[in-house]
Amino acid sequence: MSKIKFYLFTDSEKDHRIRRFREESAKKNIDFQIVNLYKIVIQDNQIIDQEGNVLKIKKNDITWILANVSTGYVVSKFLKDRNIQVWPNFEAVAFADKFITNSFFSGIQVPTPKTVFINSYHMDDIIKAIGGFPCIIKKNISTVGKYVEIVKSEKEVLQFIKNTFEIASKNILPNNRISFMLQEFVKEAKGTDYRVLCLDGKILGVIKRTAKSGFKSNISLGGTAKQIPLPEKIKKYTKKILKKGDIFYAGIDFIKKGNEYLAIEVNTSAQFKGFEQATNINVAEKIINKLIEKN
Ligand SMILES: Nc1ncnc2c1ncn2[C@@H]1O[C@H](COP(=O)(O)OP(=O)(O)O)[C@@H](O)[C@H]1O
Ligand SMILES: [Mg+2]
């Protein structure tokens, strides 16, 4: 068998995961190449990388896409059509959309906050359905807590949408799909969420993340993480999500409401810096081992 190569597709060469995947690949004598999603040319039957070379991905190579939903979606399909294993795969890319994910949770009877899709600027019925203000607005495709806010009036909803479109128009990506949802604000969550990191149908562990201030517990916003024993309910819901969603790798997030845990997102390209630090589990190595094993 020829030497394995790891192709990492990414939109940010500064991402912490790149360093970790590179380190772990080197230990295993696997060649490692970053493919910049903003600099490649995807045409017909080939992808040309940022150096101008046609990518020659072989069947036993391993591939991984970090972030960038729009181009990632196209690359994922390209690889699928050529029988090359990739994560997130074409089906899993859909989890990048929070509303689609919410619909998936309710469809398989996993508790999730009450949520409505914003399908019109005439919002009376939508706002009534969500139970009025305050509630949370989210851009459906977004990460790191950047497009999640509490809104107290229709005016604030419209302002959030306007601001988001303004920012998006300055983005270097031409094909951003933009939509929004309103969600029940779970006050009791108080800036704490539970991130379950999963690989190949198994739960690697769960960390409890707590916000420094405000209601968003994202580590990228200064939140802190601590490993906790796996709550029974989270285990049950996570197993169901993994099975029904056919999920190879993800960080699945829950918030607590009374005695219930509500699933809020499936992050198929979850960061693992905070998780590795809080648990001492070598996530990058485990991912690479599993990818090789599955090939
Ligand atoms: N419905 C909600 N009620 C209360 N807090 C929430 C709710 N939804 C999200 N949060 C908090 O905000 C954080 C960011 O929201 P999330 O939907 O995970 O967006 P992102 O993908 O940007 O991280 C969550 O980790 C959680 O702490
Ligand atoms: Mg989140």
- Residue of the CA atom closest to atom 16 of ligand 1: 145
d(CA 182, CA 115): 6
Write out the CATH class of domain 5-90: alpha beta
Q: Which CATH superfamily does the domain covering 114-183 fall into?
A: ATP-grasp fold, A domain (3.30.1490.20)
pLDDT at 199: 98
User: What is the pLDDT at residue 24?
Assistant: 97
DSSP 21: H
Q: Give residue 155 CA to ligand 2 midpoint distance, Å.
A: 25
Structure-token pair, residue 227: 């490993």
Rounded CA-CA distance 43/70 in Å is: 15
- Residue of 121, 225, 108, 127 lying closest to 165 (CA atoms): 121
Q: How far is the CA of 236 from the centre of ligand 1 (A)?
A: 21
**Residue 148 alpha carbon to ligand 1 centre in Å:** 7
Residue 109, SS3 per DSSP = coil
**DSSP assigned state of 121:** S
Q: For residues 103 and 85, what is the distance between their CA atoms, to the nearest angstrom?
A: 27
Instruction: Supply 295's token pair.
Output: 């090939």
Q: Which of 99, 186, 187, 218 to mutate to test the pocket of ligand 1 (most atoms within 8 A of CB)?
A: 218
Structure tokens at 283: 């996530």
Tokens of 128: 């009534």
Strands (E), 152-248: 180-183, 192-199, 202-210, 224-228
CATH class of the domain whose range is 188-294: alpha beta
H helix or E strand, kind and range, residue 33:
strand 31-36
Distance, in Å, from the CA atom of 219 to the CA atom of 273, rounded to the nearest integer, reads 9
CA of 3 to the centre of ligand 2 (A): 37
Spell out which residues line ligand 1, taking CB within 6 angstroms.
98, 113, 136, 138, 142-146, 148, 183-186, 189, 191, 193, 215-218, 253, 255, 264-265
d(CA 225, CA 89): 28
* C-alpha distances out from residue 259 to 24, 208, 234, Å: 40, 16, 11
pTM: 0.95
Rounded to an integer, what distance in angstroms lies between the CA atom of residue 204 and that of residue 223? 21
Mutational pocket test of ligand 1: of 69, 149, 188, 253, the residue with most ligand atoms within 8 Å of the beta carbon: 253
CB 215 within 8 A of CB 150: yes
To test the pocket of ligand 1, the residue of 255, 262, 269 to mutate (highest count of ligand atoms within 8 Å of its CB) is: 255
Domain limits, the chain = 5-90, 114-183, 188-294
> Which residues, 6 or more positions from 2, have their beta carbon under 8 angstroms from its beta carbon?
58, 60
pLDDT at residue 175 in the model: 62
Q: Which of 34, 39, 30, 41 is nearest to 7 (CA)?
A: 34
Looking at ligand 1, which residue's alpha carbon is closest to its atom 4? 186
Give the per-residue pLDDT at 95.
96
Does residue 290 contact residue 60 with C-beta atoms inside 8 Å? no
Give the nearest ligand 1 atom to 138 CA: 17
Mean pLDDT, consecutive 10-residue segments, the chain of 295 residues?
90 91 97 94 94 95 88 93 94 95 98 97 95 97 94 98 91 78 97 98 96 94 94 98 97 98 96 91 97 93
Instruction: Report d(CA 59, CA 108) in Å as an integer.
Output: 34
